[in-house]
Amino acid sequence: MSLDNLPTLREALESHGLWAKKAFGQHFLLDLNVTRKIARLAQVGQGDHVIEVGPGPGGLTRALLETGARVTAVEKDERFRPLLQEVADVAPNLSLVFGDALKVDEAEIAAGAPAHLVSNLPYNVGTPLLIKWLTGPWTPASLTLMFQREVVDRITEGPGEDAYGRLGVIVQATCKAQRVLDAPARAFTPPPKVDSAVVRLEPLAERPSAERLDALQRITAAAFGQRRKMLRSSLKVMGGEELITAAGLDPQARAEVIPVDGFLALADAWLARR
C-alpha cells in the first residue's frame, strides 16, 4: 500500500469519528492543493528532515512525504494516533511523536542534524511556539509556518506599519521573513472566523546571542507594553533617557517607529549597564 491508496482525509476523519477540538485551536487543512503548495514553498525534498507540529489528520504530512523528505510529526491530541499510524505504516520516512510541542526537545528529535519546521500551527499556541524556536537553544534550518493572517502581519511588517510590534522585532532580529501564501478560511474544516497566511523564515547567519535575545525580549516587552507612550516613559524602569541616549535613539520616539537595529542597540545598552 502507498500514500496514493490511503483513504481521503475526509474519509479517514469520518472512519475514526474525529472532529476538530476548539480547545486545541484545531482547524483541519484538507485542501490538497494548499498542502502541496506549502510543501513546495518549504523548499524541502529528498533527504531533508522536517519537523511538523500539529499534523492533525495528516493533510500537510502527506504532502511533505510526497517530496521525499523525512518527517517527524509532533501531535498533542492522542485521538489522531490511529489515523496517523495508518500513514506511518505505509510511509517508512514518517516518525510520530505524541506530546506537547511547547515541551518537546527539537534538538533531540533532530539528533544534531539540520531540520526544517513546516507546520499549520494550532491557533492557540502558534506565537509561543515561534518565540520558543527563535530564542531557544535549538535553531531550525528554516521555518515555513501557517498562522492567522493578522499574526503574519505582525511578523512581517516594519516600523510605522499598523501591525509592527514586539513579535516582528524578535522575528526580524533572528530571521529573514517573507509572506509566501494567503489561505482563505474556506480551505479549512471547520472554517475559522479569520483568514490564514504562510510565512517563510530563514534564520540569519549571525544570530544574536542568548543573552542579547533575552535582553531584546525584556526591552520590547517594556516598550510595546505601552506602545503609545514615548520611550523615555515606557523604558523608565530600564534606564529611561540615559539608556535611550546611549543607544543613539530619541527619548521622545515611540516604540512603533523604532527599527529592529534600534531595539538591538537598546538591548546592548541595557546589557552594558548591568
pLDDT tens digits in sequence order for the chain, 274 residues long: 478 878 887 888 788 887 766 666 667 788 889 999 999 999 999 999 999 999 988 999 999 999 999 999 999 989 899 999 999 999 999 999 999 999 999 999 999 899 999 999 877 889 999 999 999 999 999 999 999 999 999 999 999 999 999 999 999 999 999 999 998 888 887 777 888 999 999 999 999 999 999 999 999 999 999 888 999 999 999 999 999 999 999 999 999 999 999 999 999 999 998 8
End-to-end CA distance of the chain: 62
My answer on whether omega of the bond before 190 falls inside 30° of 0, hence cis, is yes
- Region 210-273: CATH code: 1.10.8.100
How far from 225 is each of 80, 218, 256, CA to CA, in Å?
39, 10, 11
Contacts 24+ apart (CB under 8 A), 181-188: 181/34, 181/37, 181/38, 181/41, 181/146, 182/149, 183/29, 183/34, 183/146, 187/29, 187/30, 187/31, 187/34, 188/27, 188/28, 188/29, 188/30, 188/31
Enumerate the domain spans of the chain.
3-203, 210-273
**Rounded Cα gap, residues 20 and 17, in angstroms:** 10
- Domain 3-203 in CATH 3.40.50.300: no
CA 172 to chain centre: 13
Closest CA to 189 of 34, 3, 7, 75: 34
